[in-house]
């Protein structure tokens, strides 16, 4: 069973006529994703890779029944694109766009909650349920259908670790790249809860990084609510104080958000933490008692 996206996902691509929108629409369609519409104001009636283009998300939803949106819109307009999707009744929005101002995310978050819209991102690689639906910029060929849930703040580590899982015959139920911005949509706890309730997921891999306290909250949730085993890895273990490392949210400030603190929180919750990514399959085999 998948979480969030599956064969029934009907996707609308906001920004479909742009370079990235066109390129990844083709890749998502090739994977088998049901891309039903695109949106680009002023270009209604155009066709991109067999996908009809509409002026607005509302028109796309009315014509096609789209229930999920992916945002390939420049940062300055991305927040309004997310709001447009939410107002049109889209249930799930995946925001690939990076560089969204924190003020914009603060502004739109209450409206998303009011409308009941779930957001993944911004500044994320997206989400995939192997062999069913790819919504994002993830390289579909490294994923394999199976029973391991996967959540990551890092895009590049998502690719590296998933490839390791697949090579070690650990297929995945759903993989979610949540992005590393300070303010984002669904995060560790939200997704861990979904994997806990998914009958096909037997274990979860969590990839965290320095900055913020999301991993500490995840560790507390795991300790109190989860029955399924979890393996973790924390990136940025040698990061210096006060220096931003990669994502906007990956910064240690005032002695908080360090890798050591996050590792300690996971260890306290009984979650083994890999020292290097290639240890993750080894830890999974131990937890699942696989020879």
Any bridge partners for residue 155, and if so which?
Answer: none
Sheet holding 133-136, edge to edge: 133-136, 126-129, 172-177, 145-152, 203-209, 230-235, 273-274
Q: Which residues, other chains included, contact 124 with Cβ-Cβ below 8 Å and sequence gap of 6+?
A: 94, 95, 96, 136, 155, 177, 178, 179, 184
**What HEC string does 34-97 produce?**
CEEEEECCCCCCCEECCEEEECCHHHHHHHHCCCEEEECCCHHHHHHHHHHHHHCCCCEEEECC
Average pLDDT of the residues in 273-287? 97
Name the 3-class secondary structure at 257: coil
Active-site residue flag, 247: yes
- Domains of the chain by range and CATH? 11-120 (3.40.50.720), 139-287 (3.40.50.261)
Of 24, 46, 217, 247, the active-site residue reads 247
Residue 256 pLDDT more than 70?
no
What is the residue-averaged pLDDT of the chain?
93
Residue 247 pLDDT more than 60?
no
pLDDT digits (tens, 9 = 90+) for 68-93: 999 999 999 999 999 999 999 999 99
Average pLDDT of the residues in 55-61? 98
Name the 3-class secondary structure at 177: strand
Cα separation of 190 and 188, whole Å?
A: 6
Cα separation of 23 and 289, whole Å?
A: 42
pLDDT digits (tens, 9 = 90+) for 183-237: 999 999 999 999 999 999 999 999 999 988 999 999 999 999 999 999 999 996 6
pLDDT at residue number 78: 98
Residue 255 pLDDT more than 60?
no
Band (2; pLDDT cuts 50, 70, 90): confident
**% of the chain residues with pLDDT over 70:** 92
For the beta carbon of residue 262, count every other beta carbon within 10 angstroms.
27
CB 258 within 8 A of CB 211: no
Band (162; pLDDT cuts 50, 70, 90): very high
């Amino acid at each position: 069973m998948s979480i969030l996206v599956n064969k029934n996902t009907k996707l609308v691509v906001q920004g479909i006529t742009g370079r990235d929108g066109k390129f990844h629409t083709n890749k998502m369609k090739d994977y088998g994703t049901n891309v039903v519409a695109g949106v680009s104001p002023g270009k209604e009636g155009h066709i991109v890779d067999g996908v009809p283009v509409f002026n607005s998300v509302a028109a796309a939803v009315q014509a096609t029944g789209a229930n999920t949106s992916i945002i390939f819109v420049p940062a300055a307009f991305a927040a309004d694109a997310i709001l447009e999707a939410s107002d049109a009744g889209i249930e799930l929005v995946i925001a690939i766009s990076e560089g969204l101002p924190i003020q914009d995310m603060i502004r739109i978050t209450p409206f998303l909650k009011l409308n009941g819209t779930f957001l993944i991102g911004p500044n994320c690689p997206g989400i995939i349920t192997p062999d069913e639906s790819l919504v994002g910029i993830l390289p579909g060929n490294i994923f394999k259908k199976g029973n391991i849930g996967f959540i990551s703040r890092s895009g590049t580590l998502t690719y590296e670790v998933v490839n390791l899982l697949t090579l070690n015959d650990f297929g995945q139920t759903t993989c979610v790249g949540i992005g590393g911005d300070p303010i984002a949509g669904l995060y560790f706890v939200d997704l861990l809860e979904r994997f806990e309730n998914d009958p096909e997921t037997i274990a979860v891999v969590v990839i965290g990084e320095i900055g913020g306290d999301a991993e500490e909250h995840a560790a507390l949730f795991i300790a109190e609510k989860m029955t399924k085993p979890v393996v973790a890895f924390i990136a940025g273990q040698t990061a210096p104080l006060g220096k931003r490392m990669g994502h906007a949210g990956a910064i240690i400030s005032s002695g908080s958000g360090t890798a050591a603190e996050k590792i300690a929180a996971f260890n306290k919750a009984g979650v083994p933490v890999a020292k290097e990514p290639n240890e993750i399959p080894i830890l999974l085999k131990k937890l699942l008692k696989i020879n």
